Structure 1
């Protein structure tokens, strides 16, 4: 009997003890009885406790036995593990990469490493078919994750949305909607809640309908505090029709400011673009440039192109060509002297780079979705305008560029401190508070508004409030003293405390918070608030409606920057419904 048992594929997952009457599971270390000589208990244990493993056993068994039950399979299987060497596995990895056109970096991908590690602990595992993977596992994983996210988002107090659209290689239009919210541990979360093929024209009315349908499906219609977009007219129209608050993407606005200003040096940009395009088109020229860099001991860098729709691309192009200045001058002189930049061109580039660099740094930082960003917009506006006021360029074209930057910044952001969303978020960020403002009056107006709003906030869970003990005590006293003799007195207390007491609560919490020391700007403000949410329960409940608002639409745009890898030349036959599921899993897993 022991020999018979040992031939079962189930023994890849168990170890028999010395008595021969029990087997220990390799995963949970639980002992299972096998005293009857049958391994049926082992199969049932795998099926009930480790369902992910039973799939591999069943798949392997079906092919060998034509669908017998697990116990019979366990008793009759003659499969023996095959021994392979590390060298053979290495060769197979290379073969898989080369024949499957995979990137060499696949061996460094965390999920691939996890897969290999799991397979090494499950010798009986066999890969599912493409049909099983698509129809079963992909759909099940998608539904499971979607349901989990719904439960998670339903517990949130407020949600901010970002949206973007994209056209695939197969000329199919997709629209994505991302939700941003603060979870119960005070973490800023970003979840893709919708990504689907969209065949209608992208009018404001149609986009508004999609947004409303998505909100209803996720039960967040009453939680929306703002919709952030890239300032496209159709999205702005959709937000206006829906009656939601609109936030323009700060990174895109900065990019428009820079694009407007760099028109003052358009002649230099045209020359630089011509040089970059020359090296991009000619392999021999590019190799010559790289050889020159090596001979001069310069870092091996590649030129970058200016793409108007890509943030910071103008700065990237100028910054890179300046770093390769000596190599460019030498190589161009030998290959295409007509493309050479003169001394004045180089001087302009050298002057422009320091002026554009702060815009580059701000745009890069504000595009991060892992921390609170809306509170930084007022601060960055103040810092950038202060920086421009101190710059003293020499060349007339650079002076003109600097002046346009000033004009555009003032035009686009002159009222930013009076915007209630930006102002309140800045005040509630312990890194900035009053110091974040350029206009002290705007700060005072925001604080006064917060005092009133915070006092009227309803705390979702009174048990978490420091006032809970007082409330509970009052309730107990009320139960003891139900005599009508107290009715008149209670009525007086209610009339005296209802509105005034709420305002007093707001004033007390807000003023106490403002008196706290400033937080280091590199510290996460959400962690600070998590530690103090019981000290300032009303402020905390209110800031959940502000800190969830992101300053840019970049998080949603990143979804489609990775989607191109999902729908590449080898995978253009993917059905749109599977594309939607893969994008959803890619972003949310």
Structure 2
């Protein structure tokens, strides 16, 4: 008898072997069964003895495989999220820790981890590209800086509103920039990044600092450009401090004191001891960073908080460093008052997770009100001079945001603010006219062209003499209709009560996209632009 003739007719031959013309043997349990030219007995045996066990074993194997995949994925996430080196999997302590958690898990080698991270990068990058392809409008922010090793870097970040009407951010590129920092070179890099990510024609605004090369770069790219509000406020406050007689000297003394207690071990230990004796919170002094005015605020605020232990420590230490006098501490306290709302505004305007571009106009208005109020409250000449300088510089450097198309439209399209956010009623009316024009353009763009066959026949002599005039009348009627419809939609929206400031404007538009369809499109295009090119980083001191 030829066994091959039998094998292949049933799946059972994968689990049984023909050992004689009338006997088969189970390959799983070695039991022998009679064979009568059919697989019935084999099938009964397999179902009764092995089917459930095989399924359970397969499920356990699959579960183990899935669990290992999940742990591998968590390992990759940890390496990426915490900026860990690939060599962490070779560290003795880490291996012992993982072994205690799960003795059955075998850590991959550093080469394997590197390959998994690279694979995850490619996967996430493709997901981001696919999402950007569906975005109707995006905004770009970019920033340049120099590392401690004097290497220049350029970062480009994309902001957009996704299909779920949520604000999203993707870091498109960050890397060394060895070329000269000319506008042409920066523009060439940004053009290359836009082409790589397929967002040409979708960029509605570019947000950078106010450096001349960045402004020229925006002109080369022919993109609407906005100056980062964080940089604008930073320069404004620094200049106001410099122009306030006596305040710069206090700032210089505070800087030296902070540096002394942060670099001298003896001074630091003495301050710690006195803080504990006095029962004052044990906080380190803050050293300012030249490029961030808010660090100047933090330095002076912390020094004022710790004025008693600092003064006591300096008396007991052998140092010729000049201590701050009670009058100078009083001036610090008064000057912190008008600077406080500016710091609060910086935090709000540098948010990366919520809509911020629409806050510029109303926050400038609130800042002017807050500092004007402080001017009436403070008594010292130094604080009054600081308030006056801040008010003047805000008028000079921040007033243009209210008339800029991007920011004025963003304020109107934010249901928390609308026209209430403007300082000048004339500017709000101009913004409403601009918004109506933008909305009218969308009405005309979305209108269905008239069917010539369905139109009423124009009175004509048959020579086509009136065709040009008839066409002009038809176009005029279409434009007037679009303008009227846009006016109605804009006025209906503006007449609605403003939502609470704590609410999400994007959620409002998601809920009203069928009520105000054209304004919804404009809101998605405009509200994705952030106020700042750099997010605010909260540093714990």
Check the 8 A contact 1:46/1:53 in 2, yes or no. Answer: no
1:361 is matched with 344
Identify the match of residue 205 of structure 1 among 164, 177, 184.
184
Instruction: Please tell me whether residue 455 in structure 1 is matched to residue 440 in structure 2.
Output: yes
Instruction: Please tell me whether residue 445 in structure 1 is matched to residue 456 in structure 2.
Output: no
2:168 is matched with 189
Check the 8 A contact 2:443/2:486 in 1, yes or no. Answer: no
* Deviation sequence 1:157-202 (CA, Å, 0-9, x none): 1111011234456654432210000111111111011123333222
- The 1:361/1:101 distance shift into structure 2, 3 A limit, reads farther
Structure 2 SS opposite 1:190: strand
* Deviation sequence 1:91-150 (CA, Å, 0-9, x none): xxxxx99x9699xxx9xxxxx9xx979x96x7643222222322x222211111111111
- 1:207 and 1:373 map into 2 onto residues whose CA distance is 26
Rg larger in 1 or in 2? 2
- The 1:167/1:269 distance shift into structure 2, 3 A limit, reads closer
- 1:528 and 1:545 map into 2 onto residues whose CA distance is 15
- How many positions carry a matched residue from both structures? 462
Check the 8 A contact 1:459/1:541 in 2, yes or no. Answer: no
- 2:391 and 2:206 map into 1 onto residues whose CA distance is 28
2:76 is matched with none
Check the 8 A contact 1:178/1:194 in 2, yes or no. Answer: yes
- The 1:373/1:19 distance shift into structure 2, 3 A limit, reads farther
- 1:440 and 1:230 map into 2 onto residues whose CA distance is 29
| Structure 1 residue 343: Cα displacement | 2.1
- Which TM-score applies when normalising by structure 2? 0.77
Structure 2 SS opposite 1:32: helix
- 1:101 and 1:321 map into 2 onto residues whose CA distance is 44
Instruction: Please tell me whether residue 329 in structure 1 is matched to residue 311 in structure 2.
Output: yes
Check the 8 A contact 1:46/1:54 in 2, yes or no. Answer: no
- The 1:256/1:197 distance shift into structure 2, 3 A limit, reads closer
Structure 1 SS opposite 2:415: coil
- The 1:499/1:434 distance shift into structure 2, 3 A limit, reads same
1:427 is matched with 412
Check the 8 A contact 1:159/1:225 in 2, yes or no. Answer: yes
* Deviation sequence 1:247-278 (CA, Å, 0-9, x none): 11111111111111112211111111111111
Aligned-residue Cα RMSD (Å) equals 3.7
Check the 8 A contact 2:418/2:494 in 1, yes or no. Answer: yes
Instruction: Please tell me whether residue 523 in structure 1 is matched to residue 518 in structure 2.
Output: no
- The 1:18/1:531 distance shift into structure 2, 3 A limit, reads farther
Check the 8 A contact 1:226/1:549 in 2, yes or no. Answer: yes
Check the 8 A contact 1:251/1:311 in 2, yes or no. Answer: no
- Which TM-score applies when normalising by structure 1? 0.71
Structure 2 SS opposite 1:227: strand
- The 1:247/1:350 distance shift into structure 2, 3 A limit, reads same
- The 1:352/1:494 distance shift into structure 2, 3 A limit, reads same
* Deviation sequence 1:221-269 (CA, Å, 0-9, x none): 1011111112222222211211111111111111111111112211111
- 1:305 and 1:344 map into 2 onto residues whose CA distance is 22
1:32 is matched with 55
Identify the match of residue 546 of structure 1 among 523, 526, 536.
526
Structure 2 SS opposite 1:181: strand
| Structure 1 residue 52: Cα displacement | 6.7
1:318 is matched with 300
Check the 8 A contact 2:257/2:321 in 1, yes or no. Answer: no
Check the 8 A contact 1:229/1:249 in 2, yes or no. Answer: yes
- The 1:550/1:125 distance shift into structure 2, 3 A limit, reads same
Check the 8 A contact 1:425/1:546 in 2, yes or no. Answer: yes
| Structure 1 residue 296: Cα displacement | 1.3
Instruction: Please tell me whether residue 236 in structure 1 is matched to residue 236 in structure 2.
Output: no
2:265 is matched with 283
- 2:406 and 2:531 map into 1 onto residues whose CA distance is 11
Structure 2 SS opposite 1:317: helix
Structure 1 SS opposite 2:168: strand
- The 1:42/1:296 distance shift into structure 2, 3 A limit, reads closer
- The 1:506/1:53 distance shift into structure 2, 3 A limit, reads same
1:502 is matched with 482
Structure 2 SS opposite 1:545: helix
- 1:133 and 1:374 map into 2 onto residues whose CA distance is 40
Identify the match of residue 358 of structure 2 among 354, 375, 388.
375
| Structure 1 residue 438: Cα displacement | 0.9
- 2:411 and 2:454 map into 1 onto residues whose CA distance is 50
Structure 2 SS opposite 1:457: helix
- The 1:437/1:298 distance shift into structure 2, 3 A limit, reads same
* Deviation sequence 1:418-448 (CA, Å, 0-9, x none): 1111111111111111110111011011111
Check the 8 A contact 1:181/1:548 in 2, yes or no. Answer: yes
* Deviation sequence 1:288-345 (CA, Å, 0-9, x none): 1112111111111111011121240111011111111111121112214742211221
- 2:388 and 2:181 map into 1 onto residues whose CA distance is 37
- The 1:404/1:494 distance shift into structure 2, 3 A limit, reads same
- 1:130 and 1:363 map into 2 onto residues whose CA distance is 42
Deviates more, 1:228-237 or 1:205-214: 228-237
- 1:384 and 1:259 map into 2 onto residues whose CA distance is 16
| Structure 1 residue 46: Cα displacement | 7.5
- The 1:101/1:532 distance shift into structure 2, 3 A limit, reads farther
| Structure 1 residue 456: Cα displacement | 2.1
Structure 2 SS opposite 1:298: coil
1:14 is matched with none
